[in-house]
Amino acid sequence: MPPPEVEGGRVRQKMRTRRQILTAAASLIASGSRPTVADAADAADVSRRTAYRYFPTQAKLLTEAALEGLRVPMEAVLAAAPAGASLGDVEARVTALIDKMQSLAVVHEQLLRTMIHETVLERSPATPMRRGTRRIDWLDSAVKPLQTSLSPSAYDRLVSALALCGGIEALLVLRDVRGLSERDAIDVSIWAARAIVRQTEAEAAADGRSAARGAKSPDAASTRQKRSR
């Protein structure tokens, strides 16, 4: 068994190779083509056999490349949004994030629908497949200042609830089930995300007031006891 540092080096190398292929594929997509796995391998200067180990089908490559291509614009949106810790600043970041996320989901709708199709087919109860980790990272960055005023469970619930407002899954419900236009679907996603942030903040404030009253009650009881003597 190789030592941990050797194994860690292999993992990092695999991640670099995978990213290299995705970067090449995203560049080809941006130029207007629909690259095959072989095309991406050639552009990345990686052997085709290696590329097929990471992406056995063109659909997998295209969907992952499309998602990887979202990283730069999404991070740019967060960087341009207000950086403060006030509720207004957090709402502004969430609004900008969901707006951009859903607008890009519309642009890449067909590829993302393919991703949903493939991951649902491959999912099994024994080996559940996680998707959307990029989304969680972006949302966590947007609402991070609220972490200090929330319990760990309340903060996790906030991020989980916001995850329902962004991505292709929300778009599918609003477009396919509700029949909304693209713009209306985006606007509803933004409204829901803002409502979740406000409700979370309101609950935190209510809990703080309740805790403050609880902290005062023993003193008040003690004062009443002294007066009755």
Rounded CA gap, 226 and 81, in Å?
Answer: 55
pLDDT, position 67: 76
pLDDT at 70 over 70: yes
Tokens 């990283």 — which residue?
Answer: 71
pTM of the model: 0.71
Rounded CA gap, 90 and 96, in Å?
Answer: 10
Rounded CA gap, 136 and 162, in Å?
Answer: 9
Rounded CA gap, 91 and 204, in Å?
Answer: 16
| Cα-based torsion angle of the residue sequence 148, 152, 157, 159 in order, rounded to the nearest 10 degrees | 50
pLDDT, position 8: 66
For residues 73-87, give the mean pLDDT. 91
pLDDT, position 130: 53
pLDDT, position 72: 82
Rounded CA gap, 227 and 189, in Å?
Answer: 57
For residues 32-54, give the mean pLDDT. 94
pLDDT at 47 over 60: yes
